[in-house]
Structure 1
Amino acid sequence: MRAPVSARLGADFTKLWTASAVSNIGDGVTMAAGPLLVASISDNPALIAGAVFAQQLPWLLFALISGAYADRLDRRRLVVAVNLVRAVALAGLAATVATETVTVAIIYAVLFLLGSGETLTDTAMSALLPSVVAPDKLPSANARLYASFTIGNQFVAKPLGAWLFVISAALPFGLDAFTFAVAAALIANIRPVPVPVQPRQRVSLGGEIAAGVRWLWRHRLLRTLAVTMGLGNIAFGAAFAVFVLYCRQRLDLSDVGYGFLLTAFAVGGLFGTTVAARLTRAFGSTTLLRAGLIIEVVTHVTLATTTTPWVAAVILIVFSIHAMVWGITVTSVRQRTVPAPLRGRVGSVYALLDLGGAALGSLLGGLFASVWEITTPFWIAATMMTTITALAWHRLREATA
């Protein structure tokens, strides 16, 4: 029997929060340094986009399955084991970079392994939190976790990753390996919480997943939002898969400049979290969702036409404000609508469309940029989002109701 959780969220939450913050910094460093590493080996847009695709592909393949297994296994031990595997993989990558034996195939393999682990740990960490924090403290705990992600992964890690890569190409990946090892040690020291298994009728994994998919598809508004999100992320993924080359060739930025431009996303995202609720109260969900679709079109057109870094930075800030407001709005609509027993499965379908769409877009973006110009993916994304906006506009009126 464990002691009551303190009013300050407790020592176990501190360990979980610290583990999350440390690993988020490592993740962000690798996200910035990974494309730079591939670009140092090859200037082929398809190969660079393939690195992004390799890390996103596991969400397309394993999102639904990982969610199910995170409920079936000991979540604390699962997170520890996966983090240790990721630490070893990154240490190996750092060694090949340091010895100049790294290849694109090695990079792809490590990034795929990292992405596969992420599908398990992200789901398990979210499910582990209620075992660590009292129910009435969950909003405060989640706010701290999200703030640490935004500040660590977006603000600190992106420019840090680019800066470390300039100093030594192996350094960012060695740092990330260390952060995963630290995170594993912290999670291992969280007190085990036995969860009694309630007897229930056995249903196959496929049957449970199918029930969630059927429910979502039969709900007109949520179906519209899910399809819009999936297609929108294909457009986004296609445009931003070659962003490192876009910054070099179109904006004439250095590697460090590329890292700082990435923080523009974080600036807008952090601001978006502070205004989302007020904007919803002032304008309603329908207006925000429709405005978001327009912002997507304008963003892609602006990036396709500008050659000025500060213009790109401003539009990226606006885009990330929209992305955060859109995400919060859609999540709120879904939580109000989906029955409690189906929220996990319906949520996993959203994750599949969200990250799976981005993975597919990353693959396509590299191919488009290889065949045509570096700005071609942005023009295609603008065309796609214009079509999506026209098709979804009428259906989104139901969001506010």
Structure 2
Amino acid sequence: MNNVKFKFSDFNKLWFSFLKSSIGDWLYKLALPLIVLAKTGSAYHAATIYGISFIPWIFFSLIGGSIADTFNKKRILFLGNVVSGILTVLLALFVKQTNLIMWQLYLIVFFLSSIDPLIHPTFQSILPQLTESTELITANAKIQTVDNTLSIVGPLLGGTVIVLFSGVNALWVDAITFFMAAFFITKISIKTPSRGTLSLKKLIKSIKEGASYSFGQKVIFSGSVMFFFSNFALNMFEANFMYYMTRQLKLSVFDASMAMTLAGIGSLTAGFVTPKISRYFSSGRILSVSTMLAGLFTIFLFITNSAWSVGLVLGLISFFGTINVITYFTLRQRTVPSNILGRIVSVTRMVSYASIPIGSWLSGYLISIGTTMKVIVILAGIIRLLAGAGAWLSPLGKEK
């Protein structure tokens, strides 16, 4: 009994750390594209910035997985948050310039975005050590609830901060949240000792082991392929959301924030629903059906033209998308051995995120040549719908 209480306490500390950094992330998501649009007037640059933030997942995910399975997990998470805070301070200082030099901004965003793929496998692989196996889906739902709740209050609070105090000041707050997250990590008492050093030879061997297991585990790998196409479709719209709301629909930043808040209600609801439906349906069926429904409702964005209608449809999309995430994370944590979990997280994440920069860049390019967002959302919805159908026919869909 004491053991369970001890683990739950450490889980709460991790949860609070995630909460603090997630609050800052919302400010970053809202502030940076608005700063770029205000200074350049270019949807292409705004979408490119968004896409660049995901490129490090392709380069550093595998390294992050090996780091997670080798070194002290608490130390990795602590250093990751501290470095992120320092880089965010640098970003805030840089965007204060009157004229942005875009390649320099791209570089700073790239470095800042490189921290997450290096520490995310550690975050995912430490979770099973902080909770019982039977409680993993509840733990993942609680973690996801942070994102979901902030999807509701984050846009409103972030939009208010940006309107009242400017986007640059929002970045300063983001930096502070990283340092607060690092503080909570230091309070985790569980022991996560290092398993040696990581030379180049060991790193290569470690990556090969993780890749071999990931590609050989058909159910897990099928899920990452499904997310590859789903993320491609999703980010064709998300990369240009602020442009679409403020430039094409002529809505205010507050209206755009309100739409994102409505979307967050769908995500929050999914956090409560997923543990319940997982008792009655297999993970594979939940993942494939929820992806198809997310694609179907993405197409419905074609008929929206107000903050309320966009928010309502986004809420439904977010509801099914959040069910996706919770279910897949839990399936992966339950089926993969703990000594290799960090590397499997890194491989599957790399595969699923590889499409995000492509989708972001493509949508930015299509807008630059005169394509409307209405056309883009229809295309994105069809791709996501087909991704779910493919998952239904794959080994993932047949998973019991």
Contact 1:97/1:169 (<8 A) preserved: no
For 2:222 and 2:104, locate their aligned partners in 1 and report how far apart those are by CA, in whole Å.
39
Give the alignment of 1:154-303 within 5 angstroms: 154-167=151-164, 168-188=166-186, 193=191, 195=193, 197=195, 204-285=202-283, 287-303=285-301
For 1:180 and 1:386, locate their aligned partners in 2 and report how far apart those are by CA, in whole Å.
36
Contact 2:144/2:271 (<8 A) preserved: no
For 1:328 and 1:209, locate their aligned partners in 2 and report how far apart those are by CA, in whole Å.
25
For 1:96 and 1:196, locate their aligned partners in 2 and report how far apart those are by CA, in whole Å.
37
Which residue is equivalent to 2:398?
399
Q: Deviations over 1:188-243 (max 9, x none)?
A: 455684627489xx973333333333344344444433222112211211222111
Q: Percent identity at matched positions?
A: 25
What TM-score comes out, normalization by structure 1 length? 0.84
Q: Deviations over 1:102-142 (max 9, x none)?
A: 443343233222211122333334445667x5758975766
Contact 1:81/1:184 (<8 A) preserved: yes
Q: CA distance change for structure 1 residues 207 and 265 in 2, over 3 Å: closer, same or farther?
A: farther
Q: CA distance change for structure 1 residues 163 and 155 in 2, over 3 Å: closer, same or farther?
A: same
- Structure 1 portions without partners, runs of 5+: none
Q: CA distance change for structure 1 residues 8 and 144 in 2, over 3 Å: closer, same or farther?
A: farther
Q: CA distance change for structure 1 residues 179 and 213 in 2, over 3 Å: closer, same or farther?
A: same
For 1:115 and 1:253, locate their aligned partners in 2 and report how far apart those are by CA, in whole Å.
29
Query: Does 1:38 pair with 2:2?
Result: no
The letter of the residue matching 2:153 is V
- Structure 2 portions without partners, runs of 5+: none
SS at match of 1:7: helix
* Aligned residue pair count: 395
Q: Deviations over 1:271-324 (max 9, x none)?
A: 112112333444544553443233233233222343233222111111111112
SS at match of 1:204: helix
Offset at 1:19?
2.8
Which residue is equivalent to 1:324?
322
Pairwise CA RMSD: 3.4
Q: CA distance change for structure 1 residues 188 and 361 in 2, over 3 Å: closer, same or farther?
A: same
The letter of the residue matching 2:286 is L
Which residue is equivalent to 1:23?
21
Offset at 1:246?
1.1
Q: CA distance change for structure 1 residues 143 and 280 in 2, over 3 Å: closer, same or farther?
A: closer
Q: CA distance change for structure 1 residues 5 and 282 in 2, over 3 Å: closer, same or farther?
A: closer
The letter of the residue matching 1:52 is Y
The letter of the residue matching 1:388 is A
Query: Does 1:87 pair with 2:80?
Result: no
Contact 1:333/1:399 (<8 A) preserved: no
Q: CA distance change for structure 1 residues 309 and 191 in 2, over 3 Å: closer, same or farther?
A: closer
For 1:198 and 1:85, locate their aligned partners in 2 and report how far apart those are by CA, in whole Å.
23
SS at match of 1:100: coil
The letter of the residue matching 1:240 is E
Which residue is equivalent to 1:382?
381
SS at match of 1:72: coil
Offset at 1:65?
0.7
For 2:196 and 2:120, locate their aligned partners in 1 and report how far apart those are by CA, in whole Å.
24
Q: CA distance change for structure 1 residues 93 and 388 in 2, over 3 Å: closer, same or farther?
A: closer
Q: CA distance change for structure 1 residues 371 and 283 in 2, over 3 Å: closer, same or farther?
A: same
Offset at 1:261?
1.6
Give the alignment of 1:64-143 within 5 angstroms: 64-98=62-96, 100=98, 102-128=100-126, 133=130, 139=136
Contact 1:79/1:120 (<8 A) preserved: no
For 2:37 and 2:271, locate their aligned partners in 1 and report how far apart those are by CA, in whole Å.
33
The letter of the residue matching 2:351 is L
The letter of the residue matching 1:165 is I
For 1:148 and 1:69, locate their aligned partners in 2 and report how far apart those are by CA, in whole Å.
26
What TM-score comes out, normalization by structure 2 length? 0.84
Offset at 1:390?
4.8
The letter of the residue matching 1:163 is T
